[in-house]
Amino acid sequence: MAFPIRTTLLTSAAAIAAAFLFLPADKAQAAKNDGCEGGGYVIRQLVNGGTVGQGDSTIPASNLGEVFFVDGKYNEFFVVSATFGIRDYVFTGAPNPEDITGGRRTPIWAEKTPDHRGLVLTSAIDVDSDGPDFVIKRSGTGDLDMKIQAKDCATGGVFQMEPERGDHTTTLFTHILADEQFYFDNPRFRAREGDLVPYKDILIPVPTRVNITNNISRKFVARDSAQVAERRDEPDCPNTFFSRVDNANEIVFHCGGVSRWDVASGGRMGFVTGQDAVEVAPGATDCIKDCQAQNQVRGRAVVLGFPFPAPRNLNPRFPSDL
């Protein structure tokens, strides 16, 4: 959608300066580093009962059961060996100055499941674990490759999945939230839609934004972060909002507990939390090889935040076919 320039907004140098609601870059980066203090994953629940920790390693296919457990200080999750789907993704609530859970164990995702349409992962798993940074890769039938990148941090860009297929077609990802989490159309973005705000050295229009929260932890907020991927509309979940840009109502076909995405071969589905989820920044650039979890904004974006409690304004929770 093209956004018209709103000449009545940010018309003076003072107004532009006032819109820079961010930390200096060095302080913002320090905050992100603090959020990862002591983070690091251990892979558990292998067939032989052993564990895989820091460094580069390989897990033979024979040592894999149906799932294995990725155990971190700040977040943890199960990986389905044959698909690299995710189950029971949880923020642990471990103490950290950047904690957004209120110190409580917080389930986020019930599952994040790719549909490989009959293809399966069969190879050994390559593991690269360095401090909080974690990458696992596995290949399989039909030239199928999957990669998961994760960061064991209390906040920020903490997770992404990347599929590659030999036929170069898209992969459908189904994201189902844990019971206490819900998607919502963020009213702070909706109220500023189309306004021009600073981003680094330019001005960009405020988009609308769908976020994730739980109305339990005051600071917890997240969002799906896609790269070369498109969310499917959910006809069973029509929700009406007023668009300032169009000066008319629009219907957002998004359910409260699930989202489904068609991800290009080599694209990715990411997950960002905290400030990264509620800042005004351009969408991720197209990338189909070795994509990073997020663009490096480093604090130079306007942060609009979210209301607490947030409105449950995307209904119903699930479409009829789930």
Which CATH number is 234's domain given? 2.70.98
User: What tens digit of pLDDT does each residue of 199-243 get?
Assistant: 988 999 999 999 999 999 999 999 999 999 999 999 999 999 999
Residue 101 structural domain: 13-303
**What pLDDT does 2 receive?**
38
Collapsing DSSP to helix, strand or coil, 80 comes out as strand
DSSP strand pairing (202-205 vs 144-151): unpaired
**What pLDDT does 282 receive?**
83
**What pLDDT does 303 receive?**
96
Q: Is 248 contained in some domain?
A: yes
Angstrom distances, CA of residue 164 to CA of 29, 169, 288: 32, 9, 9
User: What tens digit of pLDDT does each residue of 89-123 get?
Assistant: 999 999 999 999 999 999 999 999 999 999 999 99
Structure tokens that stand for 66 in this block = 């149906």
Q: Is 230 contained in some domain?
A: yes
Q: Is 264 contained in some domain?
A: yes
Q: Is 5 contained in some domain?
A: no
Whether pLDDT at 297 is above 90:
no
- Report the mean per-residue pLDDT for the chain: 88
**What pLDDT does 27 receive?**
35
78 touches 112 (CB < 8 A): no
CA 254 to CA 260: how far, in whole Å?
9
Give the mean pLDDT of 6-25.
35
Q: DSSP character for 232?
A: P
**What pLDDT does 300 receive?**
77
Q: Is 166 contained in some domain?
A: yes
**What pLDDT does 24 receive?**
38
**What pLDDT does 269 receive?**
94
Q: Is 317 contained in some domain?
A: no
**What pLDDT does 292 receive?**
53
Q: Is 93 contained in some domain?
A: yes
Give the mean pLDDT of 35-46.
97
Q: Is 218 contained in some domain?
A: yes
CA 185 to CA 311: how far, in whole Å?
8
Instruction: State the total domains in the chain.
Output: 1
Instruction: Cis check for the bond before 319: say yes or no (omega within 30 of 0).
Output: no
User: What tens digit of pLDDT does each residue of 119-158 get?
Assistant: 999 999 999 999 999 999 999 999 999 999 999 999 999 9
**What pLDDT does 204 receive?**
95
